[in-house]
Each structure stands twice: as C-alpha cells, then as structure tokens.
Structure 1
Amino acid sequence: MPGVSDAWSDRVSVDRQQTAAQPRRVVVVGAGMAGVQTAVALREQGFAGTVTVVGAEPHQPYDRPPLSKAVLLGKAEDSAFDIDFDSLGIELRLGLEATGVRPADHELDTSQGPVPYDVLVLATGAEPIRLPGTEGVPGVHLLRTLDDAERLRPVLARQHDIVVVGAGWIGAEFATAAREAGCAVTVVEAADRPLAGALPAEVAAPMTGWYADSGAALRTHARVTRVEPGAVVLDDGTRVAAGAVVVGIGARPATAWLTGSGIELGAQGEIVADARLRTSAPDVYAVGDCASFPSARYGERLLVHHWDNALQGPRTVAGNIVEDGQTDAVYDPVPYFWSEQFGRFVQYAGHHSGADSTVWRGGPEGPAWSVCWLREGRLVALLAVGRPRDLAQGRRLIEAGAAMDPDLLTDPARPLKSAVRTG
C-alpha cells in the first residue's frame, strides 16, 4: 500500500485487556462532523464502553456547510447536529482544548488536565490559513466557525463593500452569499483563474465568467500587499474599497498541538494514518480533515478536506475499534464534495491527478455540463455542473472501476452509465 509502513500491518495494540468492571474508554478529540460521527458510529456498531467527545469550542456540536449559507445570511441561528447525545451515552466535554498526547501513558493532555483513554480518535479537522500581516487587524475575517459566521452576519446585513481574498471554494461560496445580501464584492486571486489549486486550467477557466454574471468583480494575478482602514492595497498599488475583508486562501490540518507527541505527521502537517485509519501510535486513530490515508484505488496518499470524508471515515474507525483490530476493513473511498455558488450546483467525485484523458459532456458556456477524467479508459473522476444525475451515476462507476467508451461519453443526452464498455 503506497506510503504505509510495513510495520503497521503487523502492529498489535498494547494495553487492550479489558474486564467487565473496566469497559474500554474511547476519547474523541474534535466535536465537528468527523468527531461526532465517530462517537455515533461507535454506538450504532454496538460499542458499550464510555465515549467522550472533547471539543475546543463551547458551542453544541454543529455542522459547518450551513455557515457559508443559511447561518451567514440569517436564515438559521445555528447548525447544531440533531443528535441526542445523552440518550446515546456520549459525554460532551466542550470548551476544552487539547494540548498534547502521551501515547505511552494513554493520556490526552488538555487545558484542564489529563484525560485517560484506552482508544483515542483524533478528529481535529483543519484551520484556515491567515493572510500574513492581518492577524488582529480590524475588519479582516475568516469563515470557519460559528463565531466567525456570527461576526460576519451583521457585515452582510449592513451591505458593506467586501473584498474576498481567494477564489477557491470557500471564497466563491462567501462571494455568492454576499451578493445575495446586496453587498458589492471584489474577489482577489493571486493565480490566473478561480480554483487554480483544485482543477485544471481548461476546467476552471470557464468559471471566471460566473463572477461577472453574479455582479462580483474578479481580479486575478493580484496579491494583497496590506490591509488599511477601508481599503485593500494590491501589489500593483491599486486600492480596493473594503468595508470588510474575508480571507479564504486555504486550510491546513489542525495538528500543531501534536508536536512532540511522537505521532507521525506528513509534509502538510497532517496526521499520517494507515488504511485502517490508525496512526503511528498504539490505540490512536485519526479521521477527517486532519489525516491523510493511502488509497489503493488511486495509488497515492490522499488528504481530503471535505464534508463527505468526515462523514464516511468514522464508520471505518468505529468498526476497527469495535472489532478490536480484528477486522480487514480499510478506508479507500471515492472522494466527493459539492459547492453551491453563483446559482450553480457543482459536484465532484473521484481524484483526477493520475488521469490520462479528459472528456467533456456539454460545453462550459451552457448552464449544465460535466467533465470526465479517465485513466487507461476507466473513469476515475467527474465534475458535474448542474448535472446531478451524471454525478450519481459517475460516482458508482468510479467505485466499480468501469471502463468507458469515450465516444459515447461525449454525448450529454446519453445517460452516463450507457457509455460503459461491454465485452
């Protein structure tokens, strides 16, 4: 398995002997989607020991996607998970910051002292990258937490001129919400196109027009030099009026607190997990945005910062905990995400970096189109704009490793599944 130590396959967890009087204790660090779903999945799969979820925020655990939509626009007060934690026997310890792990002692260090565990699950997610030189600058915002959304809601309500730094997924979604609220929006992007780090140029370039269609200004090849009261200054000296600045230039795994723990971290700061989502430390798992895992499907290690990964991975973690490591269940999903931006529903499934050919279904000048990526004739990824049926069928075909007929695939009037090669 690419990127996985051979020692992991033979590793036997220590200190696993339990008695009826001392049921196993699972502690989950992180109260977002990955952490909460791990706790729920443990109960669903019959785990009878204690389950404790440790969260740094004081709020009841909540879902993040609505923050850039309903919560931001004041259509919902919050996005708390509809889960009865008490009835499931899940203990929540909120407002408690994890500060370190001592695997040899089976203890989690926190701001309020050590928390013992038999099994630890790391699900701390990712944190937004800050624009250098803007920390603490008035009027500069991030959008990651419920508190962030609550600070931004009155900004939109007052219809400020807003500068969004970064034309990635979160930048586009925030710009969409700000335009809906009636704000004047300028999006500043250092690259030559939106989504430069996520999609190939020929696919992302047509999305440039979406900004103008919505009334937002998009400035590419532009970097922010500094933020001043009421303005953003670009590297060419241009001053852009800004009652508020929202930074969306990416995120990194929230793992700095693990430094010195002995738990292996990767080049991007992510926790290096194996195919069963075990870390390099005994009895410690990692799941969601904070962890990478080896994909046999794609032949490389993946770090996926999307909601579906945080939903699916916990089932594998819970299964391995419940079975006490005596299972062959591995985590090798077809990554999936979606984005609602500028009146369009954009969906993506798979991983296209190893593709050797690209097939379009419809043209990007239209309201609905798809792009298929093939490797050796097999579908490995698909982007669908306003074509949810393509996405649903494509996701299943990617999972099946289906060989496709490119000529049939190009016809957007044909169901995607009808382009599968037979014989």
Structure 2
Amino acid sequence: MAGVQTAVALREQGFTGPVTLLGAEPHQPYDRPPLSKAVLLGKAEDSAFDVDFEALRIDLRLGTEVTGLRAADHMVDTESGPVPYEVLVLATGAQPLTLPGSEGVPGVHLLRTLDDAARLRPVLAEAPATVVVGAGWIGAEFATAAREAGCAVTVVEAADRVLAGALPAEVAAPMARWYADAGAELLTAARVAGVEPGRVRLADGRELPAGAVVVGIGARPATDWLAGTGVERGPDGSVTADAYLRTTLPGVYAVGDCASFPSARYGTRLLVHHWDNALQGPRAVAENILAGEPVRAYDPVPYFWSEQFGRFVQYAGHHGGADTLLWRGDPAEDTWSVCWLRDGALVAVLAVGRPRDLAQGRRLIESGALLDPARVADPGVPLKSAGV
C-alpha cells in the first residue's frame, strides 16, 4: 500500500522522472484488509489495486527481494542485481510475529499476505476445529471469518484480556463478550506451551484439538535488512523517520508500517500499523521529494477500523496521555463510543457502530477545540455540538 501510493502520489503531484517500484511478492500489488474477509472466505479472488502502472510510467518489478542498501553508492542491492537511485523511499511494511516452536508444524498459519489467505481458504472451507492464538485485531477478524465458515473456534490469549496492547481494560471488557455471542470460546491468561499436528498444548496442561492454528500475535517492522546501512532504527525495529518522514540517510525516506514518526500533536513518537497511515504518509513524502526540501510535516490523526463479530469498530487519535475517559452509550448495547480528552480537548475516539461519532470526533481532534465533558458523555448530543 505505502509503496504503491508513494509512486502514484509522485505522478499525481507532477513528478516526471523515472519511478521504480520494487516488490518481493510475485503478485500485482494488493490491498490487505480484504485478506481477512472477502478473500479468505472465497468471496473475492484477490484485492489488487486498480492502478495502471504502465500508463503512469512506473517501472514495477515484482518478485524482487531487496537484500541491502549502499548509501555511499546510491544503490539498493537485490537478488537480481543492484538498482541505482537518486531518492529512495523505504516502504517494506511489517512482518507477522511467529509463535516460538510452531515454525514448520503442519496446520499452523499466519495471515499477512495473499499467499497466506490462499493457503487458508481451502482449510476454512473444510470447517476444522480452529485455534486462534492472539485476541488482538487480526485475531478477532480471523475468528469472525472462521465462525462464518462454520468452524468451531477457540481463541487463546496470553494476556488477561482482549486487545491488551491496544485499549484500556475497561474499554476492552465489553468487546470480550462478542466472542461468546458469536459462538467462539475465548481463553485469556492462557499461554501456549507447544503446537503439534492436531493440537495446541497450553502451559497449564490443557490440550486443545486443532485442525488449524492461526497465529495473530502482532507484527514487527520488516527492517532487519537495514542493519549496518546507517538507517537508524528504534527498539521496536521501526525506521526512526523525522517529522518529514526522512531517515538518517540523505535522500532516503520511510513510510508506512516500517516507519515511526514524531507527532507534535501527541508529543510522542508513533508507529502506526494501519491502512490509513499507508495511504496518507506517501502524499507527504511525495510532496517533500518534489520540493527538494522539507515542506510538509507529517502529523496525522491516526485512524483505523476493524470488522469483527458483526460490528464495525473505528478508532481515531491516540489515547496515551489522556486524562479523561467518557462513555457515549451503554457498552452492553450494539452501538456505543468512548472519548478520551486531555486538558479538555478530544485526543481519541473509539466508535462501535456510531460512524458519526468517529467522523465528527476526528475533525474535533484535528481542530483541538475544547469540549464540555457533560455534553460529550451524552450520546444524544452530536459530538460536533459538544463544544464549550
């Protein structure tokens, strides 16, 4: 997503020089969100972008694995030979974390690529007993698809709650009930001790039958290949881009899942593994490349969505550092929202089946307007009307 959008944005903004797009996969560039939904369930064959690379004069080189970077020579090394560059944009994304000891075990799957979805689709069609490791966003989405396919589903989470790394306990608690409502069993504080063909062993001695095991325990920026290149990376593996998405090497930018950036809005460095970031960041990169100097800082209101258990969940902002949490509606109902404020201004909103709250909240975050907490907490008052 980030690589394609950078190339397209360069053309849309008037760049006329050569553009080369390198991709390790053999497939036409594609969108990832449908992989855990329509593609996985056989409702779509693929999710290729509707981009005419030839008409845009983008030299698309598929199946090209990048192996190194020689900044002094302005050269990217690939398995098929070196590729020179004047300006380089790193958009290598993230790679899913694997479950230790599960590598190579038959029946264990990841869900990140089109090939992953293609391998899983016939498995789900047989409706095996399925164990999902990880109750984060991807785990919930896969569990949703597996239940739709008729599989018996058990979700195993090492933390004591769902979405432990993403949301506060009180906000995630009502979402845990969705699993049972969908007929999926949820086991929290359950650590996997081992995976064998046909079963998953837990640390407490329990054994779970598993015709298929899907691991969704997070992802890490795909940046190991940058070791020793002079591109600075953080403890999380992300390329530490600056406010203009420049790396520590001249003429080298980074965008999307592989890059973190400093947010003046939130006063911290953000690493955003979501679709909207891979759409918006490239536009800033293209603008800075064309200007030949830093002209557009990148400081978005992060946004993502998740479709799970018949619900449309949206989130905008960053709630770290918030001092007030307000509910809009009853979390026992089908639709509700949560708002986070800091010093009276909205900094994040989570909306379950309330798209207007999300859209209006996102604009309020961008504006920094001060809000009346009592009006924010009233689900009958539009957020846009909750100002002081």
Normalising TM by the smaller chain, what interval?
Answer: over 0.9
| In 1, Cα distance between equivalents of 2:286 and 2:349 | 29
| In 1, Cα distance between equivalents of 2:326 and 2:235 | 33
Match of 2:315 in 1: 348
What SS does the aligned partner of 1:61 have? coil
Match of 2:210 in 1: 242
Q: Which runs of 5+ in 2 are unaligned?
A: none
Segment of structure 1 superposing worse, 221-230 or 69-78: 221-230
What SS does the aligned partner of 2:297 have? coil
| In 2, Cα distance between equivalents of 1:359 and 1:204 | 14
Q: After TM superposition, give the deviation of residue 328 of structure 1 in Å.
A: 2.3
What SS does the aligned partner of 1:87 have? coil
What count of residue pairs does the alignment treat as equivalent? 388
The letter of the residue matching 1:215 is G
What SS does the aligned partner of 1:245 have? strand
- Residues 21-420 of structure 1 mapped to structure 2, 5 A cutoff: 33-325=1-293, 327-420=294-387
What TM-score do the two structures reach when normalised by structure 1? 0.91
| In 2, Cα distance between equivalents of 1:386 and 1:415 | 15
What SS does the aligned partner of 1:88 have? coil
| In 2, Cα distance between equivalents of 1:330 and 1:159 | 48
| In 2, Cα distance between equivalents of 1:136 and 1:38 | 35
Cα offsets for 1:322-360 (capped at 9, x unmatched) = 1111x4210000000000000000000000001001010
Q: After TM superposition, give the deviation of residue 199 of structure 1 in Å.
A: 0.1
Percent identity, please. 76
Q: Which runs of 5+ in 1 are unaligned?
A: 1-32
What SS does the aligned partner of 1:393 have? helix
| In 1, Cα distance between equivalents of 2:45 and 2:292 | 40
Cα offsets for 1:133-154 (capped at 9, x unmatched) = 1111110000000000000001
- Contact preservation (8 Å) 2:105, 2:197: no
Match of 1:26 in 2: none
- Contact preservation (8 Å) 2:287, 2:295: no
What SS does the aligned partner of 1:70 have? coil
What SS does the aligned partner of 2:55 have? helix
Cα offsets for 1:202-258 (capped at 9, x unmatched) = 000111100000000000010110112211000111010100100000000000011
| In 2, Cα distance between equivalents of 1:408 and 1:311 | 33
Q: After TM superposition, give the deviation of residue 414 of structure 1 in Å.
A: 1.1
The letter of the residue matching 2:299 is D
Cα offsets for 1:336-385 (capped at 9, x unmatched) = 00000000000000000010010100111010000000000100000000
What TM-score do the two structures reach when normalised by structure 2? 0.99
